[in-house]
Amino acid sequence: MGKKKIRQEKDSLGTVEVPEDAYFGAGTQRAVDNFPISGLNMPIPMIRSLALVKKGASKVNQRLGLLDEKIAGAIANAAQEVMDGQFDDQFVVDVFQTGSGTSTNMNMNEIIASRANETLTGKKGGKSPVHPNDHVNLGQSSNDVIPSAIHISARLMIKNDLLPSLAFLHNTLNDKASEFSKVKKIGRTHLQDAVPMSLGQEFSGYCRQVDLGIKRTESASRDLEELALGGTAVGNGLNTHPEFAKNIIGFISDQTGIGFREAENHFEAQGARDAVVFVSGALKTLAVSMAKIANDIRWLGSGPRCGLGEILLPSLQPGSSIMPGKINPVIPEAVVQASAQVIGNDTTIMLGGQGGNFELNAMLPVIAYNILQSIQLLSSSATVFAEKCIQGLTADSRICSENIDKSLALATYLVPDLGYDRASQIAKKAHKTGRTIKEIVMEEKILSEEDFNRLFKGL
């Protein structure tokens, strides 16, 4: 195996050896060499959104007379190639880096400059004719670009991935609520028998949880539409054209179909990450809802003979390496685990939000990683849950009916005619003798047949 070819590049700290096939330069290589903490890289949606910012900046700076047409065009084309996924393997900086995300921003600037230079001169790398700072980063700072890219990528993922997935789950649960509307079953409170209800009513509760999750997520995500672009280093817009923010945000809005707008206060937009914290809270609530639904479904499907067994889950894979024929609730368990990860991510994001010291939040990369992972996990979980589990659920009407007949909670139906104490005595006797409430009432002629039918109508 041959020795990997390298090239030498200079930056302000000296000469650095960079892989010959790399589009990134000396600055990024130093970050790679010096900070190999986790091996985790910035999520691709974040990279694509950052490239969109660079493309927009090049076009706006040309329009404002700040960039030569040839240089601006080369930058825009290179940024588009990044957005198309041609350089995904070149974004090598660890998530755990400088808190402003400067390393990722410079990784992007260097790749775009390198590719633009290759287009213009036939040679990748270097700083001429396209300079990563002077040209690609013109009118920007990591401190306004990275927060903006977080907002753009999160808002896009919520719109394009999460909300459609949740709508699919909602509709699937709604279909099951209708399908199970006539299946009577015993309700449960405190894990004890409660009064009868329908399986459809139970599923309608799950459906409403998802519906509310959609509404909360939609509402919270609107705050992400405020962008910090134009604030540069501390929020006062130093070294950027006064028309830059309005124009680049207009470009991003046109490209995404989302009504992004300039931050009302740039000092808030760069010093705090409250909008992301708020969105993460909505995602955490959604994760809690999905875990509740998934847990209920695996309990309702427990068995097949020694559990509740009121519903039958689709069989996806052998569930045991030692017990033949055992089938486990694979998808609900996967959803519960994904939900736990999202809940943990929210804690990290909350702590990240506290990392806003004066004019800059210094935990941007870890916030970006966690919020985008949460959106991706919930999107995938909702789709898989609906497609691989909910759609294939069937009700075991026989077990549901038998559970109602056996339940001592049927004594509740006697209270209007017999009172609480008398009904309680009947329930205790039924439990002691192993008979049902109905059997006790009929055998001891406690009620007339007419009253009995009136009280237990529909059961």
Counting the structural domains of the chain, the total is 3
Catalytic residue among 12, 190, 321, 448: 190
pLDDT reading at 4 higher than 80: no
> What pLDDT, on the 0 to 100 scale, is given for residue 151?
98
Instruction: Note whether residue 27 is domain-resident.
Output: yes
Cβ neighbours of residue 361 under 8 Å, at least 6 residues apart?
99, 147, 270, 271, 272, 273, 352, 353, 355, 367
pLDDT tens column, 252-304: 999 999 999 999 999 999 999 999 999 999 999 999 999 999 999 999 999 98
pLDDT tens column, 118-129: 999 999 999 999
> What pLDDT, on the 0 to 100 scale, is given for residue 321?
82
Which run of H or E residues covers position 192?
strand 192-198
CB neighbours of residue 77 within 10 Å? 15
> What pLDDT, on the 0 to 100 scale, is given for residue 428?
95
Please check whether residues 340 and 197 belong to one and the same domain: yes
As a whole number of angstroms, the distance between CA 262 and CA 267 comes to 12
pLDDT reading at 211 higher than 80: yes
Please check whether residues 364 and 434 belong to one and the same domain: no
pLDDT tens column, 5-54: 899 988 888 999 999 999 999 999 999 988 888 999 999 999 999 999 99
Instruction: Note whether residue 79 is domain-resident.
Output: yes
Summary mean pLDDT of the chain: 95
Give the predicted TM-score (pTM) of the model.
Answer: 0.95
Please check whether residues 105 and 167 belong to one and the same domain: no
Clarify whether 135 is annotated catalytic. Answer: no
> Average pLDDT for residues 341-362, to the nearest whole number?
96
Name which residue leads in pLDDT, 112 or 458: 112
Please check whether residues 58 and 150 belong to one and the same domain: no
> What pLDDT, on the 0 to 100 scale, is given for residue 11?
82
Instruction: Note whether residue 3 is domain-resident.
Output: no
> What pLDDT, on the 0 to 100 scale, is given for residue 1?
46
Q: What is the DSSP letter of 65?
A: T
Looking up residue 423, the CATH number of its domain turns out to be 1.10.40.30
* Phi, psi for 419 (deg, rounded to 5): 90, 160
Give percent of the chain above pLDDT 90. 88
Please check whether residues 241 and 359 belong to one and the same domain: yes
Please check whether residues 390 and 444 belong to one and the same domain: no
Q: Give the 3-state secondary structure percentages of the chain, helix then strand then coil, rounded to 5.
A: 60, 10, 30
Count how many Cα atoms sit within 13 Å of the Cα of residue 266 in the half-sphere of its side chain. Answer: 17
As a whole number of angstroms, the distance between CA 155 and CA 148 comes to 11
Please check whether residues 58 and 190 belong to one and the same domain: no
Clarify whether 190 is annotated catalytic. Answer: yes
Catalytic residue among 128, 181, 219, 320: 320
* Phi, psi for 11 (deg, rounded to 5): -135, -170
Cβ neighbours of residue 305 under 8 Å, at least 6 residues apart?
none
Please check whether residues 300 and 429 belong to one and the same domain: no
Give all strands (DSSP E) within 319-421, no chain letters. Answer: 356-357, 360-361, 394-395
Q: Which domain holds residue 436?
A: 407-455
pLDDT reading at 3 higher than 80: no
* Phi, psi for 452 (deg, rounded to 5): -60, -50
As a whole number of angstroms, the distance between CA 107 and CA 93 comes to 7
> Average pLDDT for residues 89-107, to the nearest whole number?
97
